[in-house]
Structure 1
């Protein structure tokens, strides 16, 4: 009996590696990894593990159609940061939205496709009635909206909302800075220090159990179901202090104004919108209610399957 093909977008990134690790453990699948550079050291490492590495560009739908040929499962994700760094937040948002639509059109054109596992985020603008419009959320939501216009593809799709990465501490607007005179790390922000982070932590390790459960329970997870990939909820300042404690240090959150944030982090402060928004909805799951999404509990995932928050923070490296 011939094997099925699981195709993973962003194969050398953290989410992609999480999905690859899952499907490499499933003998019924051949694993295909899509990357922009099939000759990179990370791509060569995947080849050594038995992954078929294919070069394709999310900005070029034609290359995706070729890369998806014969696929039964596609794990899809887009990355806002490259476009943001090169072109700014608005253009970066639009680039990511079009990349998502390219993936959707190419997936729709793949006759063998059974399941699209789509890593995404919701619209902060819709949820907040226009108060916030966090660009790294809005581009993804534009792709979600497009998938929902394609009934055949929607029937095969799982939307996976991926929670707060530990690596977000590397963004300038969240980055702890060591202040020698204070003998502690400091984060300066204008957002609610108690803003609830729906937290996944080490995404490379903690997304895998979700991907595995989604793939194994298609009757529950397809048809546009929303899976919320998180392991904990925690306030921003509490997480900061917990990270510092894991490093044997102390940390403090220093509150400032929106205007000063704009001076300190001119473009990056737009990414801080996500924490301002989370502060407004700190008693909810990003405004979602229980029963509106599938959690790890709903999917039967044991909490012991995840890397704990303390372990994740202990090994987190902030550049």
Structure 2
């Protein structure tokens, strides 16, 4: 088996939530060496990665040639695309173009395995009710990857615990504000469970008996309603935590995303939580209680 220094995994979005989770998991395990792909290798976050010994390489999702160069010598890729809407910064390309560039570059660079962070196609799922969703570019990229001839796997995440659990200080404690109906929906603790899941897939993809290639894995930490999340937060912090229902997120595409989770979660392909297929591969999922310990550190 090659050493970790020769088993390089390119990580897109390495300075963001998902990519940084993957980088941390790879560094902690040591089987693979992460290569951070970023448009700006001189950013503060990229420089901090360099200080920790992570290889940082310039690559622009809107420029396939730069990606081909960045992926040379990589065994595998973790790919994530950035929505072409505010408040995100990207190369000005749609997620589908970004994703296709990644896949095509990986093929040209002779990458062996590609893991893509995707989502179900909302237009198809809703029978056309939601047609402008940021989900659909991800789903179309997933289909493009599956038809590419590259060995691959995809992961589907729930709502990010980190971004959907921002508390505002009140006179008696905290408030959690959220747009959309208060119905059970999937949540994922990105910091912990994305990296764990990607690492488990990478460590097993070469074994045909594991059936990893071509598979889609749900990476979900918990399924609950916001009122239940608020109750757990109040218990963890020992103060009153209220819940405010917002009329909008301020971004139409995000409104649609929230409504999708509520309206269609009951008919999405589901697996038990934690996903037994990923657990069988060695993924060690976090719990809501562990996430609450993280919340206590941030807000106590």
Instruction: Give structure 2 stretches of 5+ with no counterpart.
Output: none
Residue 230 of structure 1: aligned partner: 220
Q: 1:277 to 1:316 in 2, by over 3 A?
A: farther
RMSD of aligned C-alpha atoms? 3.1
Measure, in 2, the Cα distance between the counterparts of 1:299 and 1:105: 28
Cα deviation, residue 277, structure 1: 1.9
Residue 37 of structure 1: aligned partner: 40
Matched, 1:198 2:186: yes
Summarize deviations over 1:102-123 as a string: whole Å, max 9, x none.
1111112122x22111111111
Instruction: Give structure 1 stretches of 5+ with no counterpart.
Output: none
Matched, 1:148 2:151: no
Residue 168 of structure 1: aligned partner: 163
Cα deviation, residue 212, structure 1: 1.6
Find the partner of 1:132 among 115, 130, 133: 130
Q: Is the 8 A contact 1:230 1:296 kept in 2?
A: no
What TM-score, normalized to structure 2? 0.82
Matched, 1:288 2:269: yes
Summarize deviations over 1:146-185 as a string: whole Å, max 9, x none.
21331x11xx111011222123337xxxx666666x9762
Cα deviation, residue 54, structure 1: 0.5
Q: 1:211 to 1:148 in 2, by over 3 A?
A: closer
Q: 1:54 to 1:87 in 2, by over 3 A?
A: closer
Matched, 1:110 2:109: yes
Measure, in 1, the Cα distance between the counterparts of 2:12 and 2:178: 35
Q: Is the 8 A contact 2:18 2:191 kept in 1?
A: yes
Cα deviation, residue 273, structure 1: 1.8
Matched, 1:21 2:29: no
What TM-score, normalized to structure 1? 0.78
Q: Is the 8 A contact 2:196 2:284 kept in 1?
A: no
Matched, 1:314 2:299: no
Cα deviation, residue 47, structure 1: 1.3
Q: 1:250 to 1:24 in 2, by over 3 A?
A: closer
Measure, in 2, the Cα distance between the counterparts of 1:142 and 1:117: 15
Measure, in 2, the Cα distance between the counterparts of 1:243 and 1:61: 44
Within-5 A mapping of 1:27-106:
27-80=30-83, 83-85=84-86, 95-106=94-105
